[in-house]
Amino acid sequence: AQSVTQLGSHVSVSEGALVLLRCNYSSSVPPYLFWYVQYPNQGLQLLLKYTSAATLVKGINGFEAEFKKSETSFHLTKPSAHMSDAAEYFCAVMGSGAGSYQLTFGKGTKLSVIP
Amino acid sequence: KAGVTQTPRYLIKTRGQQVTLSCSPISGHRSVSWYQQTPGQGLQFLFEYFSETQRNKGNFPGRFSGRQFSNSRSEMNVSTLELGDSALYLCASGVDSYTGELFFGEGSRLTVL
């Protein structure tokens, strides 16, 4: 079974500082990986998606993630944090095998941005 | 383009009752998935429907069921509610869920007393 592990349930950064949210996956086959964001009292929104086309994936709102197979990692970064980035971020992997049709999510990392 | 609409947004039930939650997907989307979100377990997959057929089901008891109608709208039902069913239930739609590109509604927050 595929799984993802997000290191750090809470991350605090200062406004303008680098954002780094960590995600490691376990998969026996090349995975489809995703980052979703959830703002308070809202559903999830897709930030970016890796599907093996390129190891560096750019998403919305200035976020990007790099797929590193040797480290089984898919960390999310943003060069300069903005107050509006405060939210909870979820790393996810698409289920393996034909007919899975489900995302397996990590536990989430809550990002706080300090003014 | 209207987003995914879930109703009701909030509801309170007592143990033993049943509840039905509704989801209207984005127009043109034929795949609807349901997820349960709790502080302890996080986001867990319930089931997925495509063109009225359930293609996959998560590891939940039979008290949790769902269906999809010909217009792609979906409902999920939980019977004999337990305290542990208190959660945010999220519906997501997509052109096809295998892409992983899902559009989530704001959820239905269920409280079981």
Identify the pLDDT of residue A55: 87
- Whether chain B has a CB inside 8 Å of the CB on A27: the answer is no
Residues of A in contact with B30 (CB under 8 A): none
Per-residue pLDDT tens over the stretch A67-103: 998 899 999 999 999 999 999 999 998 876 555 678 8
Q: Is the pLDDT of residue B98 over 80?
A: no
| C-alpha distance from residue A26 to each of A2, A31, A87 (Å) | 6, 9, 25
Contact yes or no for B85/B11 (Cβ under 8 A): no
Q: What is the DSSP string of B26-92?
A: PTT--EEEEEEEETTTEEEEEEEEETTEEEEE-S--TTEEEEE-TTS-EEEEE-S--GGG-EEEEEE
Per-residue pLDDT tens over the stretch B28-80: 999 999 999 999 999 999 999 999 999 989 999 999 999 999 999 999 999 99
Residues of B in contact with A94 (CB under 8 A): 98, 100
Identify the pLDDT of residue B95: 80
Identify the pLDDT of residue A29: 67
pLDDT confidence bin for A45, thresholds 50/70/90:
very high
Which of A41, A43, A101 comes nearest B55 by C-beta?
A: A101
Residue in B with minimal Cα distance to A33: B100
Which of A44-58, A74-88, B88-102 reaches the highest mean pLDDT?
A: A74-88
Residues 6 or more apart in contact with residue B25 via CB below 8 angstroms = B4, B31, B32, B72, B73, B74, B91, B93, B103
